[in-house]
Chain A
Amino acid sequence: MTILVIAEHDGKALAPATLNTVAAAAKIGGDINVLVAGQGIGAVAEAAAKIAGVAKVLVADNSAYAHQLPENVAPLVAALVQVGGGAGYSHILAAATSNGKNILPRVAAQLDVDQISEIVSVISADTFTRPIYAGNAIATVQSTAPVKVITVRATGFDPVAAEGGSAAVEAVAAVHDAGTSSFVGEELAKSDRPELTAAKIVVSGGRGMQNGDNFKLLYTLADKLGAAVGASRAAVDAGFVPNDMQVGQTGKIVAPQLYIAVGISGAIQHLAGMKDSKVIVAINKDEEAPIFQVADYGLVADLFEAVPELERAI
């Protein structure tokens, strides 16, 4: 069995989610190849070659793959699988990031197989578990496809070591340019804090924060803890913070060591994004709030008093 992992990157650096995806591949067992597709991605390919357990890194460096447009990357992946009459790869894995979710179903349809989305565990080489109904049920799914196409929920797998490997790097010459799409521009939110999905501690605010200025309270606390700051959908919809901070079923899925929910009631949609955190702390003045049902430590208090006090105490 040979497994192809599609590297998650922004063109400059390899994203940590790739390490979790390689960890899932290692659990399936077999040779692991990593595909890095993009433009000017030498540094990413080097980083991928150092990942522990990777046998080979395929590099498709071409302007057609810049910004990883799915119309061009999906045919590339499908072609790699079909090498040697379909004997190329037994599994194709990508992280369930916005890129992975964008590209992989397109690959699966081109290969005429069903995909399995956001697996959280590997039972065997063809059987996996994944959450459905916003995490309210866990389905065990078996794939009989000749090529298993799978996205991996990063928080379900501990990352493999980023160093220690010495994979061979091989260039892929094939160029697929469908010509149906082009990149226009992007607007990325700037933040000095750790990335939400990779942070060990996450401090999140909800509607109870009342306005965007009050999030400063959480930023101060987060900086002291070395934490990332998240938000509930209510806080995002109210315009307090940008939507890339949203934790939940329709935002980011996090599973840090410590999750501090401040002024968040705990709607199903939010819980789906954070209930796998190791320790959950809730600070809310409504003692009936559903968040207290999942919190390991709950503090019924006014957040405007409790948060500054907490910040001083640590």
Chain B
Amino acid sequence: MKVLVAVKRVVDYNVKVRVKADNSGVDLANVKMSMNPFCEIAVEEAVRLKEKGVATEIVVVSIGPTTAQEQLRTALALGADRAILVESAEDLTSLAVAKLLKAVVDKEQPQLVILGKQAIDSDNNQTGQMLAALTGYGQGTFASKVEVAGDKVAVTREVDGGAQTVSLSLPAIVTTDLRLNEPRYASLPNIMKAKKKPLEVLTPDALGVSTASTNKTLKVEAPAARSAGIKVKSVAELVEKLKNEAKVI
């Protein structure tokens, strides 16, 4: 079974981002970039499926700038077999990314596509579901467990009240939640080997996909700052403040 994994290059989750002075966006110049944490979990799951003998080939795909090759190389070092970069310098919406992924799915014909549940920059949580709609495949979002058996995949999903299990016909789309697995680190020999693995570069034009968007970001602002609080000295003072000053209990 061929598994396709989508990864995104995003600002590192430890970075505290700053909004640009002209409110055009977030300042990403000279900021550390990494693979989106949910995408790391997606790569790990694919590698584990290969180790179990379920998956035979792992193709990792990223859509973004030339520099996203770094994240693809990381995925190759973690165990992916080959990589595809759909190069686009523009900031694409989830729908445009889903359309590009659909074109890659049509070309590669994977049985399972694994994505992260959301990217920590745009916080959209849309791409996996949109890809499922475009391909007509079943979707197992927010997965905490994935079990392939025959031509079906059972996905345990994290939902508001607890967990839910659904069974999907293959091919299917799965998006990962945090507790699906703990991603491994790439070893130095594997990082060296990853440099020799194939990496194909495509463009949206070559895939025949229009990336036009119906959404426009007008401005990006810093959130309203909370006014500085006070430190109380005792529990008695805390209770007094909550009762008489804040009036919340």
Residues of A participating in the B interface, judged by any CB pair closer than 8 Å? 10, 67, 69-71, 74, 97-99, 101-110, 112-118, 127, 130-145, 178-189, 197, 201, 225, 233, 237, 242-244, 249-250, 252, 257-258, 268-269, 275, 278-281, 287, 292, 294-301, 306, 309-310, 313-314
Alpha-carbon separation in the docked complex, A145 to B213 (Å): 9
Max chain B CB contacts within 10 Å: which of A145, A275, A279, A280? A279
Q: Is the beta-carbon distance between B216 and A144 smaller than 8 angstroms? A: yes
Report 6 cross-chain contacts, Cβ distance below 8 Å, ordered by A residue.
A132-B121, A140-B221, A186-B162, A225-B249, A243-B144, A244-B162
Partner of A297 from B26, B178, B241 at Cβ < 8 Å: B241
Query: When A109-B133, A114-B214, A133-B11 are in contact, do A299 and B223 touch as well, CB less than 8 Å?
Result: no
Q: Which of B11, B26, B95, B169 is the one whose CB lies under 8 Å from A108?
A: B95
Tell me, yes or no, whether B218 is within 8 Å of chain A by CB.
yes
- Chain B's nearest CB lies how many Å from the CB of A190? 9
Q: How far is the CA of A263 from the CA of B206 in the complex (A)?
A: 53
Q: Which residues of A contact B138 (CB under 8 A)?
A: 71, 178, 180-181
State whether A105 touches B125 (Cβ < 8 A). yes
Given contacts A98-B160, A105-B94, A132-B220, contact A299 B235 (CB under 8 A): yes
- Asked if B187 CB lies within 8 Å of chain A CBs, one says no
Across the interface, A109 reaches (CB within 8 A) one of B95, B125, B144, B163, namely: B95
Q: For A299, what are the chain B residues with a Cβ–Cβ distance below 8 Å?
A: 231-232, 234-235, 238
Q: Is B238 a contact of A310 with CB atoms below 8 Å?
A: yes
Q: Is B236 an interface residue (CB 8 A)?
A: yes
Report if B217 contacts A (CB, 8 A): yes
Query: For window 179-201 of chain B, which residues contact chain A by CB distance below 8 Å?
Result: 179
Question: B248 to A184, Cβ gap below 8 A?
Answer: no
Report whether B94 and A249 are in contact in the complex, using a CB–CB cutoff of 8 Å.
Answer: no
Q: Are B249 and A258 in contact (CB under 8 A)?
A: yes
Would A279 and B242 be within 8 Å (CB), given that A71-B139, A258-B248, A298-B229 are in contact?
A: yes
**In the complex, which residue of chain A has the Cβ closest to the Cβ of B131?**
A109
Query: Hey, which chain B residues are within 8 Å of A233, CB to CB?
Result: 178
Q: Which 5 A-B pairs have the closest CB atoms?
A: A105-B129, A109-B133, A109-B130, A145-B214, A180-B138
A257 CB → nearest B CB, Å = 5
Q: Are B216 and A141 in contact (CB under 8 A)?
A: yes
Contact indicator A108/B126 (Cβ below 8 Å): yes
Across-interface contacts of B163 in A (CB, < 8 A) = 186-188
B226 within 8 A of A: yes
Please state if A181 and B235 are interface contacts (CB–CB under 8 Å).
no
Q: Which chain A residue lies CB-closest to B171?
A: A180
| Contacts known (A189-B161, A201-B249, A249-B123); A184 close to B133, Cβ less than 8 A | no
Report B-chain residues with C-beta under 8 Å of the C-beta of A201. Answer: 248-249
Set of chain A residues within 8 Å of B132, measured between Cβ atoms? 70-71, 106
Contact check, B141 vs A133: say whether CB atoms are below 8 A apart: no
Nearest-Cβ distance from residue B167 to partner chain A, whole angstroms = 5
Residues of B within 8 A of A (CB): 11, 13, 16-17, 19, 26, 93-95, 98, 120-134, 136-139, 141-142, 144, 154, 157-169, 172, 177-179, 213-223, 226, 229-232, 234-236, 238-239, 241-242, 246, 248-249
CB neighbours of A127 from chain B (8 A): 218
Q: In the complex, what's the smallest C-beta–C-beta distance from B130 to chain A, in angstroms?
A: 4
Contact: A137 with B133, CB < 8 Å? no
Closest CB of chain B to A179's CB: distance in Å?
8
Interchain CB contact (< 8 A) of B120 among A10, A182, A249, A298: A249
Residues of chain B lying within 8 A (CB to CB) of residue A182: 166-167
Given A109-B95, A138-B221, A279-B242, also A296-B166 (CB < 8 A): no
Residues of B within 8 A of A109 (CB): 95, 98, 129-131, 133-134
Query: Which of B120, B125, B179 has most A Cβ within 10 Å?
Result: B125
Contact check, A313 vs B235: say whether CB atoms are below 8 A apart: yes
Check B120–A180 contact: CB distance below 8 A. Answer: no
Q: How far is the CB of B16 from chain A (nearest CB, A)?
A: 7
User: What is the bound-complex CA distance between A269 and B37, given in angstroms?
Assistant: 12
Query: B242 and A184: CB pair below 8 A?
Result: no
Q: Which residues of A contact B179 (CB under 8 A)?
A: 237, 243
Q: How far is the CA of A10 from the CA of B217 in the complex (A)?
A: 34
Contacts of A179 in B (CB 8 A): 169
* Nearest neighbor of A191 in chain B, beta-carbon distance: B161
Residues of chain A within 8 A (CB-CB) of B154 are 184
* B129: A residues at CB distance < 8 A: 70, 101-106, 109
Q: Which residue of A lies closest to B230 (CB)?
A: A297
Residue numbers in A under 8 Å from B142 (CB-CB): 98, 102
A133 with B26: in contact, given A118-B123, A295-B229, A298-B230 (CB under 8 Å)?
yes
Tell me the minimal C-beta distance from A202 to chain B in angstroms: 11
Chain A residue numbers with a CB within 8 Å of B11 are 133
Whether the pair B162, A181 counts as a contact (CB closer than 8 A) is: no
Q: Give complex CA distance A302, B165 in Å.
A: 41
Q: A278 — which chain B residues lie within 8 A by C-beta? A: 246, 248
| B232 & A298 in contact (Cβ 8 Å cutoff) | yes
Residue from B137, B223, B229 within 8 A of A131 (CB atoms): B223
In the bound complex, do residue A67 and residue B164 qualify as a contact, i.e. CB atoms below 8 Å apart? yes
CB pair B162 A137 closer than 8 Å: no
The closest CB in chain A to the CB of B159 belongs to: A98
